[in-house]
Structure 1
């Protein structure tokens, strides 16, 4: 998952915002670059990044600056390679000093998704010969349910591993939704008496 997707807005008040940052953005070199770049914005008068709690707090004058400006600058810093080992900070939009780096990353993600869909399709075709008969609707539904489950797992993987598993009571409603979706998936797989 990209670093930008791991940045979470935790508080947005009048003249004060707080973000939770991923660990690579809390390292010493990244921290100094982020603090300096945000302090350089017009209207920002205090920036503090606590590496232990991974919190970035920014105080600003609302007449001059707002959340959008701060978030845009933070995104530009991540795009420029701040906090990413093996990447040389460069111009915004150039990943690792190479043009098309972002495009390569997206192509790799699309390839991984396509490979997962091929596995699911192969399993569905082997286990469900009905897919090739006139009554193939159930086979298509099973296939697209599997694709949806894989997509939801990929989309929420960071949240599951970094937040939901560590604080299960705090995220109890998310867990209830997960168990309900698993129940529906298992129920849809049961053989039906025709």
Structure 2
């Protein structure tokens, strides 16, 4: 009988210990789960990938159209106009840039092929507009004579974005001087790149 009493006392003691260890949470009383019980913390690391996107607007063709001035078009003159040069100011550069470790970037411009000897193509930023975007414009406003070597069009800038579409970002003036009226090679492209 003594053994049974000891076993019962041990069972009641263990049962009491188990009952005391269990915590009841009342979902209607936020204090019981906000301020009570064990609390801990974990450190989180969030890695954001760098992004560099640049777009020449208007879409979808992104081609420059210079048209022909019919008032000065005469037989014997180059098709680019009476003076052999044409200007287009309809292109806008938009970009989105998120740096790795706060590194600044630049926008470079170059061609995918050598420009023919008798043609001169100049690119120049003539306006900046911050409509719907956040960025620190740092343009090179000097005319750049294009070649297949990279040249800086926009100097060091931090992470940001220009907004999308015409009237946002950088307005580009493209001037073609073509006194002999020759054609550009097939597949000729002007390339804008963020680095």
Structure 1 length as normaliser, TM-score?
0.24
When the two structures are superposed, what TM-score results if normalisation uses the length of structure 2? 0.24
Q: Which has the higher contact order (CA 8 A, sep 6+)?
A: 2
Higher Cα Rg: structure 1 or 2? Answer: 2
